[in-house]
Amino acid sequence: MAKNYQFYINGEWRESRSKESISILSPYLHEEIGRVQAISQDEVDEAINGAKLAQKEWAQLSVRARGAYLYRWVDELLAMKNEIAQSIMEEVGKTFNDAVKEVDRTADFIQYTIEEATHMQGESMWGENFPGGNRSKIAMTNRVPLGVILAISPFNYPVNLSAAKIAPSLIVGNSVIFKPATQGAISGVKMIEALHKAGLPKGVLNLVTGRGSVIGDYLVEHPDIDMISFTGGTVTGQHIAKISNMIPLVMELGGKDPAIVREDADLVFASKQIISGAYSYSGQRCTAIKRVLVNETVADELVSLLKEEIESLTVGSPEENNIIVPLIDDKSADFVQGLIDDALTKEATLVVGNKREGNLIYPTLLDNVTTNMRIAWEEPFGPVLPIIRVKSDKEAITLANASKFGLQASVFTKDINKAFTIAPQIEAGSVQINGRTERGPDHFPFIGIKGSGMGTQGIRRSIEAMTREKVTIINIYE
Ligand SMILES: NC(=O)C1=CN([C@@H]2O[C@H](COP(=O)(O)OP(=O)(O)OC[C@H]3O[C@@H](n4cnc5c(N)ncnc54)[C@H](OP(=O)(O)O)[C@@H]3O)[C@@H](O)[C@H]2O)C=CC1
Ligand SMILES: O=C(O)[C@H](O)COP(=O)(O)O
């Protein structure tokens, strides 16, 4: 019988008084791999109250003392590496190798976060610098925690994207309510088991499980939540932004990252970057390349190189480390298939793919995609890539910016002057010159604009987002 995973509240693992649990099906084993608690609103209240109380003492510790707990978390995570990786693989269908990398990346993330916070200092200002001011007034600013942070994460990086919220919150003295994606909650439970083993004081982090559609609004609207760090779909993010209580929000949402390929690009190099950017983990990355805007003079050559690369992609079970794996569920596969069908009906050219076995969609490349097709604008979160042929850089920039999203973009060119002319004109948080779109390294600022989010993540920026400045002014008198 599949294991029933408990939720974590005030230092204890518990079953919900609701007596309800949610079945977690593996996207490739197609069987139940466990159940997680569907907790009640009373239990949400209890978790938030506990976190609120615990935060006061936690914030009194020095940054080094809090860091000591987090260093122990790193040790425990690494000790559980294979178990957590197995869970990521079974729960979200990521290859075992990538799942191991996700745990390693998380350990590195937490360590860097501790080090960064340890080296962050406040500043002082002298009154005399402003007209009429004098030297007897000195302001000292330092950063203080916000209180209780609500961390809501998506399914696709269930450990790394959760730790990317939890570690910066904790190191600066906040407490955390962690709401993992339901498909991802078992991996979330395991990473918190590691934190429990590290001896984290009770209540400093409480893990709540349950469907976002059931407990999400209650969490978001709760008066004792002081900040929300959310990663997930744009529709969910916009809903949260509308209903939350005038508290700071950091939102990492969907994307439609373009790869702009100029006529002078190294096409062999660009095609390899585009393939890895578009198809890794079957395109289930917010930063995946989700459209190619290629100059028509080199489009045939690029398409032929991409086709060759796609034909070498392995397809199948994540247990055999295939690149293309089944999508998270049937609904997602139906959505991707709908985008492919729409494009083909409107006379896109099928270069390769459009083959499906249940929720396994084979890598698909569509050429001659035009702006009346849904795939030109919508985020598939699956292994399908549209090629849009353009006549000029200007047209590529216009199309790039016509998207409602603005996460990242790539520009492939050998002309650095052109690269630096195009990059500032692109409406996106980051522009990669001659590289695939990607988040890492994780200390770089990570920004979504327009429908791709608000606020900035990246280790230092996340720490800043989870604190506010506090000013103490000394008035010297003689
Ligand atoms: N910009 C970025 O950095 C990233 C963006 N994403 C985006 O995330 C999407 C895929 O992730 P997915 O998990 O499907 O996204 P969802 O938006 O469906 O879910 C994200 C999280 O929000 C929760 N949730 C759902 N409804 C509510 C609510 N009303 N209030 C509070 N929380 C709620 C979900 O819980 P539950 O699972 O229980 O429904 C889950 O924990 C893609 O669009 C992708 O682009 C993904 C990764 C990174
Ligand atoms: O949210 C995502 O999809 C990931 O943060 C992307 O990370 P990556 O670019 O390093 O895969």
What does the pLDDT look like over 151-187, one tens digit per residue?
Answer: 999 999 999 999 999 999 999 999 999 999 999 999 9
Cα separation, 39 vs 22, in Å, equals: 10
Phi, psi at 410, each rounded to 5°: -115, 145
Tens digits of residue pLDDT in 36-89: 999 999 999 999 999 999 999 999 999 999 999 999 999 999 999 999 999 999
- Give the residue from 66, 62, 96 showing the smallest Cα distance to 82: 96
Distance 364 CA to ligand 2 centre (A): 21
Cα separation, 129 vs 144, in Å, equals: 25
pLDDT on residue 206 = 98
> CA angle, corner 188, sides to 185 and 191, nearest 5?
160
Domain made up of 3-253+454-471: CATH architecture: 3-Layer(aba) Sandwich (3.40)
So where are the chain's domains? 3-253+454-471, 257-449
Return the ligand 2 atom nearest residue 154 CA: 1
For residue 286 and ligand 2, the question of a CB distance below 6 A is answered with yes
Could you tell me which residue, 233 or 1, shows the higher pLDDT? 233
Distance 236 CA to ligand 1 centre (A): 6
For residue 440 and ligand 2, the question of a CB distance below 6 A is answered with yes
Q: pTM of the entire structure?
A: 0.97
First to last CA, the chain: 77
CB burial readout 282-300, b (16+ within 10 A) else e = bbbbbbbbbbbbbbeebbe
CB-defined site of ligand 1, < 6 Å: 152-156, 179, 181-182, 211-213, 216-217, 220, 231-233, 236, 239-240, 252-255, 286, 379, 381, 407, 448, 452-453
| Chain mean position to CA 317 | 24
> Among the options 43, 91, 102, 252, which is catalytic?
252
Confidence class of residue 369 from pLDDT cuts 50, 70 and 90?
Answer: very high
pLDDT on residue 122 = 95
Task: List residues bridging with 386 in a β-sheet.
Answer: 366
| pLDDT beyond 90 at 1 | no
Segment 143-155 mean pLDDT: 98
Confidence class of residue 349 from pLDDT cuts 50, 70 and 90?
Answer: very high
Judge whether 425 and 397 are in contact, CB under 8 Å: yes
pLDDT on residue 2 = 87
Cα separation, 428 vs 425, in Å, equals: 9
CA distances in angstroms from 180 to 66, 155, 173, 243, 475, listed in the order given: 23, 8, 21, 20, 47
| pLDDT beyond 90 at 467 | yes
Q: Which amino acid is at 162?
A: S
Mode of pairing for the β-strands spanning 289-295 and 257-261: parallel
Residue pointed to by tokens 């690149």: 323
pLDDT on residue 120 = 97
Confidence class of residue 218 from pLDDT cuts 50, 70 and 90?
Answer: very high
pLDDT on residue 478 = 76
Segment 426-438 mean pLDDT: 98
Phi, psi at 51, each rounded to 5°: -65, -35
3-state DSSP assignment of residue 106: helix
* pLDDT, the chain, mean: 98
Domain made up of 257-449: CATH architecture: 3-Layer(aba) Sandwich (3.40)
Atom 15 of ligand 1, nearest CA residue: 232
CA distances in angstroms from 21 to 24, 102, 231, listed in the order given: 10, 27, 24
Query: Which of the 8 DSSP states describes residue 201?
Result: P
